[in-house]
Homo-oligomer: A and B are copies of this chain.
Amino acid sequence: MVVGHVDGDGPHLLFYGHYDVQPVDPLELWDSPPFEPKLEDTPKGQVIRGRGSSDDKGQLMTFVEACRAWRDVNGTLPCKITIFFEGEEESGSPSLVPFMEQNADELRADIALICDTGLFQSKTPAIVTMLRGMVTEELTITGPKVDLHSGFFGGLAMNPIRALSGILADLHDSTGRVTIPGFYDGIPELTDEVRAQWEGLNFDWQDFLGSVGLSQPAGEQGRMPLEMIWSRPTAEVNGIWGGYTGDGFKTVLPAQAHAKISFRLVEGQDPDTIRDAFRGFVQARLPDDCSVDFKAHGGSAASVMETSDPAFEAARQALSDEWPDEAAYVGCGGSIPIAGHFQSILGMNAMLIGFGKDDDAIHSPNEKYDLESFHKGMRSWARILDALSKE
C-alpha cells in the first residue's frame, strides 16, 4: 500500500488505483517486451502498449497527471487529496481489509474516487453505480474410495462425475433461472428511473456477444441483457475436472469429481446465505454412496452507490463536458471489493470512473491503453476536481 496526502482547498477526496499487474505469461504471445511501454500506431489510433497500461497503471496515472497539471498551472490543488495505491489487487488483496481497518482515520475522506473501470462505449464515459458481489465455492464429490476399472465395476458402482453432472445441470431451469431455493429472495427490481436510464443506453448486445462468437442471451428469459450482466445474480461453473483427462483414453471410474462454482451477487443477497443455500441444494441431490466436501474461496456482497450524493451528478456533468457523448450511470457485473470496503469500513461513498476499453486485452498478452483514454482521462479528472471543489 502507498498512502500520500496533498493539501488543498475544498473537499477531501481519496483516490484509489492499483499499481500491481497480472503475470505476463504466455510471454511468447507478446509482440513487444511487456514491461517496456511504448507508443504504437494502430488502425484505430495511437495506443500505449505494455502490461498494466490499462489495468491499472495507466488509469492510475490519469489522476496523478491531472493533479500535476493542475498544480503546475494554479500552484495548489482545488481539493485536499489522499492518494491510496494498492500493490496486491491482482493477488486477491490479502492485506487490504486489515490495512484499511488499521488506518481508517488516515484514509477517511468525503468521497472515494476509483479509477479501475472502463468507458461504457468508446465515446461514452461512465460512472459505475452498482457492482455485483461474489461467492466462490469448490466442491468435491466422492463415490468409491479408489478409482475403479469401468469394465469390472461399470454399471454397478456410482460414478461421481454422473452425480456432479446431475447437480450442476440442476442449477438452472429451462428459462435460465437459478433453482437454488431462496436464491432470488430480497432482490429488488430496477427502479423505473434506472430502467429508463439503461434502456436509454441502447446497449448493442448483439455486438457485445458477437464479438466473442455468441448470438443469444443465455440468462433469465424476459430480462434485458444489461440486467443479466449488471443487476441479476448468476451461478457459473468456472472449472470442472475428474477422472482421466490426458491424451488417449483410460476407462477409469474415478473416485472423485470436482467443480469450482461462483455466484455473482446483487443487492439484497447475503454471501453467507447464498453459500449455505447452495450447499443445501447439493446435499439434497447427492445420490446414495456419494459424499461431498465444500471449500469456501471467498465472498463479498454487492455494492450499490448512493447516487443521491450531489458529487455524482457533478462528476457526471464534468465527464459529459469532456467526451463526445453524455456520461452514463452504469452497472458493472464484476466485483470490485474496494468499493464495498470504502462503504463498510470507512463509511464513504465511492465513485468508479475509468477510461478503459473492451479491446484493451487486460490480463492478456499485448495489453494496451488508447492514448485517447489517457489524454481524455487526465482532462476528465481535472474537470471532476474542478466540479467537486465547487460542491
Contacts and interface: CB of A to CB of B under 8 A. Distances in A.
A315 to B, nearest CB: 23
Contacts of A172: 162
A334 B152 CA distance: 6
A215 B249 contact: no
Contact of A157 (B145, B162, B218): B218
A151 B205 CA distance: 15
A148 interface: yes
A214 B157 contact: yes
9 contacts: A155-B229, A156-B218, A156-B229, A158-B218, A165-B168, A165-B240, A216-B288, A218-B289, A240-B241
A32 B159 CA distance: 33
Given A298-B249, A333-B152, A165 B242 contact: no
Contacts of A298: 249
Nearest to A215: B289
Nearest to A250: B238
B236 A159 contact: yes
Interface string A239-258: 11111110011111110011
A155 to B, nearest CB: 4
Contacts of A244: 238-239, 260
A81 interface: no
Given A145-B212, A168-B165, A241-B245, A264 B218 contact: no
Interface string A201-232: 00001001100111111111000010011001
A154 B234 contact: yes
B144 A212 contact: yes
Interface size class of A (residues with CB under 8 A): 35 or more
A143 B237 CA distance: 13
Interface string A136-155: 10100001111011111111
Contact of A257 (B149, B240, B249): B240
B155 A264 contact: yes
A182 interface: no
A306 interface: no
A38 interface: no
Nearest to A132: B151
A166 interface: yes
Contacts of A156: 205, 208-209, 217-219, 225, 228-229
A297 B237 contact: no
A237 B155 contact: no
Contacts of A159: 218, 236-237
A37 interface: no
Contacts of A234: 150, 154-155
A287 interface: yes
Contact of A212 (B157, B213, B288, B333): B157
A150 B250 contact: no
Contacts of A248: 92, 297
A109 B338 CA distance: 79
